Amino acid sequence: MIELRNVSLKYGEKEILKKVSLTVQDNTIKAILGPSGVGKSTILKLMLGLIKPNSGQVLVDGTDITGMKESSLYEIRRKMGMVFQGNALFDSLTISQNLGFFLRENMKLPEEEISRRVAEQVQFAGLEGYEDQLPESLSGGMRRRVAIGRALIFRPHMILFDEPTAGLDPVSSKKILSLISSLRHNNNLGAVIVTHIIDDVFNVADSVAVLYQGEIIFDDVTEKLHESEHQFIRSILSDKILEL
Amino acid sequence: MGGKNEKPTFTRMKTGESTASSPHAQVMPLAFIRALEKRLVLQLKDFFLTMQEFFFFSVRAFMAFPKMIRYWRDVFDQATICGTDSIPIVLVSAISIGALLAIEVGNLLEDFGAKTMLGRSTALTVIRELGPLLMGLMLSARFGSRNGAELGAMQISEQIDALRAFGTDPIAKLVMPRLVAALIMFLPLTALSDFAGLQSAAYMAEHYHRIDPGIFWNAVYPRLVAKDFVVGFLKAPVFAIIITLVSSFNGFSARGGTAGVGRSTIKGIVVSSGLVLIANFYVSKIVLENM
E strands along chain A, which residues?
Answer: 2-11, 14-24, 29-33, 55-60, 63-64, 80-83, 158-162, 190-195, 207-212, 215-221
In a mutagenesis test of the B interface, which of A47, A60, A90 is the best target, namely the one with the most B β-carbons within 10 Å? A90
A13: closest CA of chain B, how far (Å): 12
Other Cβ atoms within 10 Å of A25 Cβ, number? 14
Give the distance, in angstroms, between the CA of residue B144 and the centroid of all CA atoms in the same chain: 9
pLDDT band at B115 (very low <50, low <70, confident <90, very high): confident
Buried-exposed string B182-208: b where 16+ CB fall within 10 A, e elsewhere: bbbbbbebbbbbbbbbbebbbbbbeee
Chains A and B form CB pairs within 8 A to the count of 53
Residue A67 has pLDDT above 50, yes or no: yes
Note whether A88 contacts B166, CB cutoff 8 Å. no
pLDDT value of position B24: 55
pLDDT band for position A241 (cuts 50, 70, 90): low
Domain parsing of chain A, residue ranges: 1-76+192-244
Residues on chain A touching B164 (C-beta within 8 angstroms): 48, 50, 70, 77
Average of pLDDT values for A19-34? 92
User: Which of A45, A71, A102 is opposite residue B166, by nearest beta carbon?
Assistant: A102
CB within 8 Å of chain A, chain B residues 129-168: 157-159, 161-162, 164-168
Compute how many other C-beta atoms are within 10 angstroms of the C-beta atom of residue B180.
Answer: 24
Give the mean model confidence (pLDDT) for residues B243-263.
93
What does the alpha-carbon distance between residue B150 and residue B218 come to, in Å, rounded to a whole number?
47
- Tell me how many degrees the CA angle A185-A188-A192 measures, rounded to the nearest 5: 95
ipTM: 0.85
The contacts found for A173-176 with CB under 8 angstroms, 24 or more apart, are A173/A141, A173/A200, A175/A141, A175/A145, A176/A141, A176/A144, A176/A145, A176/A148
Residue A64: predicted pLDDT: 93
Out of A80, A88, A154, name the one closest to residue B158 (CB). Answer: A88
A59 vs A14, more confident: A59
Predicted confidence at residue A75, as pLDDT, reads 83
- Whole-angstrom Cα distance, residue B119 to residue B105? 10
Q: What is the pLDDT of residues A167-178, one digit of tens each?
A: 888 888 888 888
Mutate to test the interface with A, among B166, B169, B255, B261 (most CBs of A within 10 A): B166
How are strands ordered across the β-sheet holding A80-83? A80-83, A158-162, A190-195, A29-33, A207-212, A215-221
**Pick from A77, A88, A89: which is nearest to B167 by CB?**
A77
Task: Decide if B173 and A50 are in contact by the 8 Å CB cutoff.
Answer: no
d(CA B139, CA B147): 11
pLDDT (0 to 100) of residue B25: 54
* Average pLDDT over every residue of A197-226: 90
**pLDDT for residue B81:** 92
Instruction: Name the CATH superfamily, with its identifier, for domain A1-76+192-244.
Output: P-loop containing nucleotide triphosphate hydrolases (3.40.50.300)
DSSP-derived secondary structure for A172-191: HHHHHHHHHHHHHHHH--EE
Residues of chain A above pLDDT 90, percent = 45
The helix or strand, by DSSP H or E, that contains position B245, with its residue range, turns out to be helix B226-252
Average pLDDT, chain A: 88
| Residue A218: pLDDT band with limits 50, 70, 90 | very high
pLDDT of res. B6: 44
- pLDDT confidence band for B4 (50 / 70 / 90): very low
Residue A147: predicted pLDDT = 93
